[in-house]
Structure 1
Amino acid sequence: MEDILNIAQLVVAIALIIVILVQNKGAGLGGVFGGDGNTYSTKRGFEKNLHTITIVLAALFLGLALANFFI
């Protein structure tokens, strides 16, 4: 059971890294710390899907890490 969780966590981690690297470079937290406020726009299409996939993969990674910790 632990081996399955470890392999699943590894696969999710690699997928999460890939999805994060594919995202736009200007979409980070730069605007929070005094970046250009005129570049803000609503996420649409592919960018919105990447954002959603990133959140799902991060939640899945966290869930697998907790499951791995308690088992």
Structure 2
Amino acid sequence: MMLKNILQIIQLILAILLILVVLLQQKGTGLGAAFGGSGTIHTTRRGIDKVLYQLTIAISTIFFLLAIVNLLF
């Protein structure tokens, strides 16, 4: 029972971190570009944008794996 509580607390912390990292990312062209065809210029992520992007992937992957582990225990 103790392990499950610890995993849930870690998952809660990861959820909060994931929200913060997503909010810190630079805004793109928006939803209108997906349907309007604008914003077709491809730019690479550099500096802090790249770090935030990679951090988002890492946190979301760990969050997903912890959700599966919580489901199994």
Q: TM-score band, normalised by the shorter chain?
A: 0.7 to 0.9
Which blocks of at least 5 consecutive residues in structure 1 are unaligned? Answer: none
Q: Which residue of 2 aligns with 1:52?
A: 54
User: Matched residue pairs, number?
Assistant: 71
How high is the sequence identity, in percent, across the aligned residues?
A: 45
Aligned-pair CA distance for 1:36:
2.1
Q: CA deviation at 1:37?
A: 3.1
Q: Relative contact order (C-alpha < 8 Å, sep 6+): which is higher?
A: 1
Structure 1 range deviating more: 48-57 or 23-32: 23-32
Alignment RMSD (CA, Å): 1.9
Distance 1:58 1:30 in 2: 26
Larger radius of gyration: 2
Out of 38, 42, 63, the position equivalent to 1:36 is: 38
* Higher helix proportion (structure 1 or 2): 1
